[in-house]
Amino acid sequence: MKGSLVGLLAASAVFGGVAHAGEQSFDDRIYGGLMLNYIDADNAMRGLTDSKSGLRVFAGKQISPLFAVEGFASYNQFGRYGDANVIAADKKQKEGSVGVDLLAFPLRCTGSVSPFVKAGIGATYFNEDETALNLSVGGGINWKLSDKLSFRTDAAWRIQDTDNDVRNIPAASDTRALGDNQTEFVFGAGFMMPFGGSAPSVSDGCPAKKMEEPAPAPAPAAPAPAPAEPAPAPAPAAAPAPETVVIYFAFDSSELNSAAKAALDRVAANLTNRNFVVAIANGHADATGTEEYNMGLSERRAASVSNYLVSKGVGASQVRQRAYGETRPAASDDTEIGRAKNRRVEINLLRQ
């Protein structure tokens, strides 16, 4: 491998050596995706006339809070290459690539948007009978659209060790040859989704907002003795206190797991049997991310509970929902356990 490739390998090693202090939990489900792939090869391979779009499929897995590993395969077909007086007009350059990328997510606590950088190694196949080693560096952004779907766009700079030995391109002695190393830019856009059940209901490891503790109130002055008054009339009987059922959610999720559905089945049975007449679903979130995003997340959680109860035969008029975002924590957001307790919907069941 020539000097330019060695330098790129060294950069990849530095990229992969970034450490992250502390043990944090993360979503370790396998995911996959499909993207439109565009390679800008104009002036990269001597004589290649077009840059063309193609397809890329990929699958990966988060291996730590900061890093993920992905495998990919892509296919592109370019225009005619070489001198029109030498190469037939219908001669096309076909390029397929397979490889592995390491992704790093340096900014994780950004709500639904996750930027990343990446480096990879792979092999490029020219016209199905020649292979060249390639290395790449780049970056991109994941936009989380829902619990099950994300949009991704990325770009990478790729260098290929052609060594003048690809038989379907003019020979090394010809000025139209590929040369020792060739570079190209690869762009992609598409969708990805995780496989399996819901993300684990654990903390994501992001730093939580510090809650300001109110200053202690001054001690009240001793009141003057009140004059004797006649005994008050007995107060009317108070309405019975509501019963409360709490449903917990995974980080950044409004999807109900099996335990939540089992608890909601019991709630639905009590409502349809008229043991209770009204259910109020109060949605909450931990303090990770922005207040606006957390308010929307708590609304989606309350709606998820309400919709499930209605699907089990509860009348829509019996179910109400409210959203509080991160404003009413059940526990401190300074710890992982506390944040997990705050990702919840509290269901108040009223008898009348």
Per-residue pLDDT of the chain (352 residues; tens, 9 = 90+): 444 444 444 444 334 444 443 445 567 889 999 999 888 765 445 445 455 678 999 999 999 888 999 999 998 776 554 444 444 445 566 778 999 999 998 876 656 888 999 999 999 887 656 788 999 999 999 998 988 899 999 999 998 876 655 444 444 334 344 456 778 889 999 999 998 766 554 445 555 555 555 666 666 666 666 666 666 766 555 455 568 999 999 999 999 999 999 999 999 998 988 888 888 999 999 998 899 999 999 999 999 999 999 999 998 999 999 999 999 999 999 999 999 999 999 999 988 6
* Closest of 250, 246, 236 to residue 286, by C-alpha: 250
Tokens 């490739």 identify what position? Answer: 5
Number of Cβ atoms within 10 Å of the Cβ of 133 = 16
Are residues 267 and 133 both part of a single domain? no
Are residues 46 and 104 both part of a single domain? yes
This prediction's pTM: 0.54
Are residues 75 and 156 both part of a single domain? yes
Examine residue 96 and state whether it is found in any structural domain, yes or no. Answer: yes
Q: Residue 156 belongs to a domain with what CATH number? A: 2.40.160.20
- Cβ atoms of residues 90 and 81 within 8 Å: no
Query: Strand order in 243-248's β-sheet?
Result: 243-248, 344-350, 278-283, 319-323
Domain count, the chain: 2
- Cβ atoms of residues 45 and 178 within 8 Å: yes
For residue 68, what are the contacts with CB-CB under 8 A and spacing of at least 6? 60, 61, 62, 102, 103, 105, 116
Are residues 45 and 151 both part of a single domain? yes
Q: Which two tokens stand for residue 103?
A: 């992704």
* Closest of 41, 91, 47, 52 to residue 75, by C-alpha: 52
- For residue 183, the cross-strand partners are 159
Give residue 267's domain range.
243-351
